[in-house]
Amino acid sequence: MRVFGVFIGVAVLCGAVPAADPPGKKDRYGDPLPDGARMRFGTVRGRAPISGFGIEKDGTVVTAGMLAEVRRWRATRESSEEPLFLPLPEPVAIASYPQVSPDGRLVAVCSQDKLSVWEAPVDGESKPKCLAEFAAGRPRLFRFSPDGSKLILTTASSGVSSVLLCDIQSGQATALGGGDGYFEAVNFSGDGKRAAGVVGRKVVLWDTASGRTLADHQLSDWLAGTFALDSAGQVLVARVYLDGGKSEWRAIDPLTGKLRDGFKGPPGGRWAAYAPDGKTLLVGDLKGITWWDPAAGQAVRAFDVVASGGGLQDVPARLTPDGKVLVAHNGHMLMRWDAATGKPLFRTQDDGHNGYVNGLGVSPDGKLIATRGLDSRVCVWDTATGKEVWRTAAQWSSAPYLVFAPNGKHLYLPGPGPGEVTRYDALAGKIAGRFVVDLKEGGQGGVVSIRLSADGKTLHGLSRGATADDSGLLTTWDTATAARVNVARLTDPRQSDWGELSPGAQFIAEVGYGRGGVVALGSPDKNLLADAKVPGHSLLLSGHFSDDGKWFTLVTHRMEDGVAKYAAVVVSTPIWRVTATVPIAQYGAAALSPDGRTLAVAAADQLEFYDAATAEWFGGYRLPVTGWERPGNRFTHVLRFTPDGTRLISGHLDTTALVWAVPARPKK
């Protein structure tokens, strides 16, 4: 039964029946599309959920995903073989995702109370064996030794941590120590004879043969967590926080805690790992990976792509055993380059996005689609061919929708610098104007939300404060001259955090864990969603105003008898009243059609369409199950209808966007 009840439009999202599309429909790369999908922007080639990897002797890369699915990537193929799931008796711990030994033979997985080590499955015929198990309450970080014979494991509970050295062959664990605070990173030296851990300002060094603590130092500055340890464990390279939000790389003797002379760190980077020569470094950030010579203070080679890594324990980059290929991942894709030239091995590696798609825009005539990804890249696509027209770097933002001008000639994007909005020619991608926040106001970070007036003559921009104590600004510009027409400082710093403006900028939607609402800019203490009796609050995204400002759509979360409840909700803004509520199985995304008649909801592996007036289901599709569907995460991040309401665009964790046909409504 599709609808279980209606009260102010209440329904339940349940199993969808795939649309009867012709079988075998493929994207422009030749990869299959899910039933109901008409087009894919971007590619799934080289993309997969990855939490760790190792490399076999022949160059085959073995990856593990968040659900302990193991993939094999042959040296000559850009996509992996079918994933093989480990037969785990207990779910994977959300905060401690699986890791792979450097040689690709073993996979380590944490549950809530133990660490288990498995053989990496070779094919679907062989049953993986569990080789060792180690009791560990609330595991946090773990890392394989270079030869794969040991693991260093940290646990965390009530502000106290412990560290274990686990021998896989014997199944024995040795306590190395612990104490107050949580370790933010652990690592082995290249020869495996030493291990180190970092927590706050403290660096601890251990001897792995005896389990003895060799050094325990409190440094003068905070370390940024991730660090690299050289082959003998005599040099620890870490990023150190400085005043003013700055940081720099330093080389530290972990035995004495003193700085090493002759080290010249790279200018940027979020993580570092020693190259096989034990002297040079691989340094990665959002722009890619740099092979850095710290003695000369210069780059040896650059490898361009998003390579920031996603978790505390990620092994960010490795060279294949023959040294010819550099391998890295960013949680969403596997990246491989020719180590000698810096060129990607596969052309599709840089196609589309390198991170999940969390923002969408559609031109008024429906001929162009704009997507924004976690990679801080915006791509513009031709809806007739599915080809990328142009791309640009943009400021990272959580605002789900990108803004085209009413005449379709321009695309407006926050950034790329802080405190600015850039106007681009929608077809050519050339910069056609910049709109800058008044820097005299001070304390301003990036612009988080923008809105154009219906005639395109006025631009509103909401910028967040530079710190948690700084309130944001609402700036209004004349689009013809780029002159600031009005500047208003918000009274509550939270109003500029994860916010979205309504058309006309009368209202702002905010979000945060345990809170979330809509307020009028002049009345920040009155939550209009509470007055509308919305069930629960927004959790990760603020919700979205319709282009005419008459509707506000969001996905809500609430706890009921200890159970999380989610719902897609439509609110009428002229009267601030809930008009439709669709309970859903888990957190997802929702969108309302431009005419306000159709509510689209995506949760788990289902995409459903409802009559917004009655909350009655009238069609849906099943999304592809590809391994991205994991607890606490949404495969679909954002939905947007085309202006005519006949198509729906969805942005996904797999770095692509899909175009769906909106099902026909049943005849009355």
- Expressed as residue numbers, the domain containing 287 is 264-350
User: What is residue 97's predicted lDDT score, i.e. its pLDDT?
Assistant: 84
Q: For the segment 320-336, what is each residue's pLDDT rounded down to a tens digit?
A: 999 999 999 888 889 99
- Distances 282 to 138, 271, 584 between C-alpha atoms, Å: 31, 8, 44
Q: What is the CATH number of the domain that holds 621?
A: 2.130.10.10
Q: For the segment 450-506, what is each residue's pLDDT rounded down to a tens digit?
A: 999 999 999 999 887 766 666 778 899 999 999 999 988 877 655 555 578 899 889
User: What is residue 10's predicted lDDT score, i.e. its pLDDT?
Assistant: 38
Q: What does DSSP assign to residue 308?
A: -
Beta strands in 69-222 (DSSP E): 69-73, 84-85, 99-100, 106-110, 114-119, 130-135, 139-144, 150-157, 160-167, 172-180, 185-188, 194-199, 202-207, 213-218
Cα 83 from Cα 605, distance rounded (Å): 18
Q: Higher confidence at residue 544 or residue 412?
A: 412
Contacting residues for 646 by C-beta, under 8 A, at least 6 apart: 661, 662
Q: Is 597 found in the same domain as 641?
A: yes
User: What is residue 606's predicted lDDT score, i.e. its pLDDT?
Assistant: 87
Q: Is 471 found in the same domain as 333?
A: no
In contact, 188 and 145? CB cutoff 8 Å: yes
In contact, 273 and 315? CB cutoff 8 Å: yes
Q: Are strands 500-501 and 99-100 parallel, antiparallel or unpaired?
A: unpaired
Query: How much is the average pLDDT of 23-43?
Result: 88
pLDDT-wise least confident of 190-199, 205-214, 248-257, 461-470: 461-470
Domain end call among 319, 350, 381: 350
In contact, 569 and 588? CB cutoff 8 Å: no
| Mean pLDDT over the full length of the chain | 86
In contact, 348 and 39? CB cutoff 8 Å: no
User: What is residue 24's predicted lDDT score, i.e. its pLDDT?
Assistant: 54
In contact, 582 and 12? CB cutoff 8 Å: yes
Query: Averaging pLDDT over each range in 20-24, 354-358, 401-405, which range is the top one?
Result: 401-405
User: What's the pTM value of the predicted model, to 2 decimals?
Assistant: 0.87
Greatest alpha-carbon span in the chain: 80
Q: For the segment 39-68, what is each residue's pLDDT rounded down to a tens digit?
A: 999 999 999 989 899 999 999 999 998 888
Which stretch of DSSP H or E encloses residue 636? strand 636-641
Q: Is 339 found in the same domain as 390?
A: no
In contact, 433 and 424? CB cutoff 8 Å: no
User: What is residue 310's predicted lDDT score, i.e. its pLDDT?
Assistant: 46
Contacting residues for 249 by C-beta, under 8 A, at least 6 apart: 237, 238, 239, 240, 263, 265, 266, 269, 272, 283
Q: Residue 660 — pLDDT band, cuts 50, 70, 90?
A: very high
Distance of CA 181 to the CA centre of its chain: 26
pLDDT of 524 > 60? The answer is: yes
User: What is residue 493's predicted lDDT score, i.e. its pLDDT?
Assistant: 58
Residues of the chain with pLDDT > 90: what percent? 55
- The number of folded domains in the chain is 2
Query: How much is the average pLDDT of 234-238?
Result: 95
Q: What does DSSP assign to residue 499?
A: -
pLDDT of 379 > 70? The answer is: yes
Q: To 5 degrees, how large is the angle CA 34–CA 39–CA 40?
A: 80
Domain end call among 350, 371, 392: 350
Q: Which two tokens stand for residue 81?
A: 């073989």
Contacting residues for 656 by C-beta, under 8 A, at least 6 apart: 40, 41, 42, 43, 44, 47, 352, 353, 357
Q: Is 361 found in the same domain as 303?
A: no
Q: Are strands 500-501 and 484-489 parallel, antiparallel or unpaired?
A: unpaired
Q: Residue 626 — pLDDT band, cuts 50, 70, 90?
A: low
Closest CA to 289 of 260, 310, 312, 266: 266
Q: Which two tokens stand for residue 552?
A: 């506000």
The verdict on residue 111 lying in a domain is: no
Q: Higher confidence at residue 582 or residue 439?
A: 582
Q: Is 647 found in the same domain as 596?
A: yes
User: What is residue 628's predicted lDDT score, i.e. its pLDDT?
Assistant: 65
The verdict on residue 97 lying in a domain is: no
User: What is residue 469's predicted lDDT score, i.e. its pLDDT?
Assistant: 65
Closest CA to 42 of 660, 626, 656, 659: 656
Q: To 5 degrees, how large is the angle CA 337–CA 341–CA 346?
A: 35
Cα 213 from Cα 204, distance rounded (Å): 7
Can you state the percent helix, strand and coil of the chain, rounding each to 5?
5, 45, 50
Q: Is 442 found in the same domain as 365?
A: yes
Q: Is 422 found in the same domain as 369?
A: yes
The verdict on residue 445 lying in a domain is: yes
Q: Is 370 found in the same domain as 326?
A: no
Cα 352 from Cα 371, distance rounded (Å): 9
pLDDT of 220 > 50? The answer is: yes
Residues of the chain with pLDDT > 70: what percent? 88
Q: Residue 312 — pLDDT band, cuts 50, 70, 90?
A: very low
Q: Is 397 found in the same domain as 279?
A: no
Q: Is 398 found in the same domain as 340?
A: no
Q: For the segment 6-25, what is each residue's pLDDT rounded down to a tens digit?
A: 333 333 333 333 333 344 58
Cα 444 from Cα 339, distance rounded (Å): 41
